[in-house]
Amino acid sequence: MSTARKLKVMASVSNSLSFKHGLSLWCPQSPSLHRIRHSSAKNFQRRGFVVAYSSFANENREFVIVGGGNAAGYAARTFVEHGMADGRLCIVSKEAYAPYERPALTKGYLFPLDKKPARLPGFHTCVGSGGERQTPEWYKEKGIEMIYQDPVTSIDIEKQTLITNSGKLLKYGSLIVATGCTASRFPEKIGGYLPGVHYIRDVADADALISSLEKAKKVVVVGGGYIGMEVAAAAVGWKLDTTIIFPENHLLQRLFTPSLAQRYEQLYQQNGVKFVKGASIKNLEAGSDGRVAAVKLEDGSTIDADTIVIGIGAKPTVSPFERVGLNSSVGGIQVDGQFRTSMPGIFAIGDVAAFPLKMYDRTARVEHVDHARQSAQHCIKALLSAQTHTYDYLPYFYSRVFEYEGSPRKVWWQFFGDNVGETIEIGNFDPKIATFWIDSGKLKGVLVESGSPEEFQLLPTLARSQPFVDKAKLQQASSVEEALEIARAALPVEAAV
């Protein structure tokens, strides 16, 4: 049978053929669309599949990624590595930019203008992991269709179609949901949308904040987590009066121990940052010009501010994909160890995915760039190849602050594992400190501040191996270096590094 005849038969049988791992090979019905690219279709032809390609002259797409963040950028790279991007892949994004390394927005992007702040195209994916910088031109060269500033607003699962905000209709063969999260906001009725109130999730948000910082005198940061700590450190670089307000007893309560948090709080205070802990906000008050002017607390006190940054967490962006299947405990879209949803041919990756955290035997949803990268790569490899092993993620978090030129002390910590059990703290934060989490004698998690490259490299090995450690010996360590050597010595032979 000729190639043309094969394509005609395929199209007449079905618009979408679903194969192992949820892969759908899209077979558009327009007679003017197809050609066979032997080099990139090699793997499928070995299996006896005849692949039809869309030139995107109509609404048909073989693979569609919804979302334009970190996960989308790393997924695109994986498609390219498998020779399955050119003329087949479409990315639909609400943003005006090609995918970029989002963590930069609360770090280098907020540096004062005279301190060499990060700017695009400098931090497009995949530079954050040492990969190629995927500029808009890169996507064009790779034959990837990019649809900017046009988010998907509805999906018809039965017809395998998407509709964007502009009314554009897209038919997909396989769909990868990479919509990430949306910043949690204060309600409008308590001043959450006043001019001068900022949330950071994309470049436009960060640009708006920078415009405010250029004119600001008093900054209030609401939230004592990653965003709060990073934005406050940036405001110090701008030499602004800065206050952090949060309801918890100490910074980053979901990870830091009280002792560890105290070290960081003292460092921030040495840089002029003020803390208001255990506080609840009643409302944000506007001045005579309509801009935000103060924060009013539940105890009746007020704190003046001309710029307020809200960093109180984020919510997974599941709309309009609720029918795909949500997780009621951790939020997000439920997936399996291959990132397949309950609907054939539909996948979810990155922040929005609720996935099985294999090593701890629980379902998790991780809002972190490392997971965005790894989940994207694992999903696309499973989609395009015979890979069948379950995603086995090791939780990893880090922060880098006060890294602008002229800063007297740069901060960079890394954490791997699970923060459960009792803790042992070693070091005096001058500059190093390490915290070890030990549960039933096993090392479950470890955090190191200002470690060397070799020390940071050791951390994931320790957290994944979970060796039994001698607590008494570890407690007696006189330095971070000695403590890490004790932990290293406890590793099984096959895991030792």
Averaged in consecutive runs of 10 residues, what is the pLDDT profile of the chain (497 residues)? 40 34 36 33 35 52 97 98 97 98 97 96 97 98 98 97 97 98 98 98 98 98 97 97 98 97 97 97 98 98 98 97 96 98 97 98 97 98 92 97 93 97 96 97 98 97 98 97 97 76
**pTM (predicted TM-score):** 0.87
pLDDT of 365-419, one tens digit each? 999 999 999 999 999 999 999 888 999 999 999 999 999 999 999 999 999 999 9
pLDDT of 183-212, one tens digit each? 999 999 999 999 999 999 999 999 999 999
Which amino acid belongs to residue 159? K
Closest CA to 209 of 218, 222, 200: 200
CA distance 100 to 118: 12
Q: Which helix (H) or strand (E) holds 24?
A: strand 24-26
DSSP state of 467: -
CA distance 12 to 286: 63
Q: Where are the beta strands (DSSP E) in 178-229?
A: 181-183, 197-198, 218-222
Pairing verdict, β 422-426 and 411-417? unpaired
Contact 90, 56 (CB under 8 A): yes
Tell me how far CA of residue 122 lies from CA of 6, 135, 191, 453, in angstroms: 46, 9, 35, 23
Sheet of 442-449: strand order equals 396-401, 411-417, 442-449, 433-439, 422-426
CA distance 417 to 150: 38
Q: Which helix (H) or strand (E) holds 258?
A: helix 258-270
**Residue 59 confidence (pLDDT):** 76
Q: Which two tokens stand for residue 266?
A: 């003292």
Closest CA to 145 of 49, 62, 71: 62
CA distance 466 to 357: 16
Which amino acid belongs to residue 74? Y
Number of C-beta neighbours around residue 403 at 10 A: 17
Contact 178, 376 (CB under 8 A): yes
Contact 345, 161 (CB under 8 A): no
pLDDT of 290-313, one tens digit each? 999 999 999 999 999 999 999 999
**Residue 53 confidence (pLDDT):** 37
| DSSP code per residue over 386-410 | S--PPP----EEEEEES-STT-S--
Contact 427, 443 (CB under 8 A): no
**Count of residues in the chain:** 497
| Neighbouring-strand partners of residue 379 | none
User: In the chain, pLDDT over 90 holds for what percent of residues?
Assistant: 86
